[in-house]
Amino acid sequence: MKFVLTADWHLRGTKPRCRTDENWYASQENALNQVKSFANEKKCPIFVVGDIYHSIKDTTFYCIQMVQKLARKTKKGLYVLAGNHDLLYHSTENINRSPIGILMNSDKIYEIKDYFIENGMEDFSAGNFDEETENKKIIFKHVLCFPDMKSLPPNINALTAKDLLEQYSRAKWIFTGDYHKNFHYEKNGRHVVNPGCLLRQAVDFKDYESGFYFIDTDNDVVDFNPIIDFDEFVDDSYILKQEEREKRIEDFVDKLKDTKVISLDFVENVKNAIVSNDFEDDMVDMINELMEV
């Protein structure tokens, strides 16, 4: 079985703060087209293991159209699994009330399980993050999975690749989504493959190489293919601005504590602090905006 493995597209109408693209929609479409072109070249389908969209609120009609257009131009079909970000209230019970429900009723867009049914393959399982997943030879699961214990942050309820292989003892291949960094874990001829995010949408991913995998289960092929996403499109300068903003707010709070004219009304106290101290105009505007005074 050959296919393109991808996940965590997080398509959205609002451009992330770290991106400097002039046209955010065009950047997202560019990434999708790279996946589509590769799949058509290899004459294989595309499998998406969840989180096509970033949020229900920020899924615009154009975001839906982007995926529908991609599916129509993908020669071997687009097969999807819902992720927690795709679903209203993060529940599969609301799949038909969510944008991904529209996709699953669109031309050439199918559920991942449909591929195996169409090809008479029974030893597989495909489960959303909140569903039971059977112990089969091939498993698709949208679940937060880290490559190893070293990468697992403290106080996070998640699994490692080793945990998954122990949990699904019959599985030779487990394909996951949700964790945003790509990895391929292999042990004794058994594989856990996580494609990571398709585009860098957070500043801590500035130096990260996003992309997708080409999978050939018959020949144990797992090839990573990077997405061309120019470095200048990711900027971390806003963090310094945010730090400066937070420092100035801290200074304001300290002066507020020293204000002698105190009432029982918090907003009134803010006004008194502004009057009593020589703040710059932009600082006053910022405080007023935050407090809506």
pTM of the full structure: 0.81
What is the distance between the alpha carbons of residues 135 and 156, in angstroms, rounded to a whole number?
Answer: 24
Tell me, yes or no, whether 225 and 260 share the same domain: no
Asked whether the predicted pLDDT for residue 91 surpasses 60, the reply is yes
DSSP string, 212-235: EEEEETTTTEEEEEE----GGGB-
What crossing angle do the helices spanning 266-276 and 237-258 adopt, rounded to 10°? 90
Say how many domains are in the chain: 2
What is the gyration radius of the CA atoms in the chain, in angstroms?
23
Q: What is the reported pLDDT for 287?
A: 56
- Among 145, 201, 152, which residue's Cα sits nearest to residue 168? 145
Q: Which residues pair with 194 in a beta bridge?
A: 183
What is the domain-level CATH number for residue 218? 3.60.21.10
Asked whether the predicted pLDDT for residue 250 surpasses 50, the reply is yes
Q: Do both 168 and 207 map to the same domain?
A: yes
Do 75 and 219 share a structural domain? yes
Final residue in a domain of this structure, among 209, 233, 257: 233
pLDDT in tens, 104-135: 999 999 999 999 999 999 999 998 777 789 99
Residue 3: what are its φ and ψ, rounded to 5°? -165, 165
| Domain range enclosing 271 | 237-291
- The yes-or-no verdict on residue 44 having pLDDT over 90 is yes
| The pLDDT of residue 60 | 97
For residues 101 and 269, what is the distance between their CA atoms, to the nearest angstrom? 50
Same-domain check for residues 244 and 176: no
CA 273-274-280 angle, to 5 degrees, is 135
- Over the stretch 133-153, which tens digit does the pLDDT of each residue have? 999 999 999 999 999 999 998
Residue 292 pLDDT class (50, 70, 90 cuts): very low
pLDDT at 288 over 90: no
pLDDT at 155: 81
What is the average pLDDT across 151-173? 93
Band (pLDDT 50/70/90 cuts) for residue 89 is: confident
* Region 32-47 average pLDDT: 98
- Using DSSP, state whether 8 is helix, strand or coil: coil
Phi–psi pair at 133, nearest 5 degrees: -120, 125
pLDDT band at 293 (very low <50, low <70, confident <90, very high): very low
Choose the final residue of a domain: 185, 217, 233.
233
pLDDT averaged over every residue in the chain:
87
- Rounded-to-integer distance, Cα 42 and Cα 290, Å: 53
Query: By mean pLDDT, which of 104-108, 170-174, 175-179, 286-290 is the weakest?
Result: 286-290
Residues 287 and 257 in one domain: yes
Q: Among 188, 209, 233, give the residue marking a domain's end.
A: 233
Q: Are residues 145 and 276 in the same domain?
A: no
Q: Do residues 215 and 107 share a domain?
A: yes
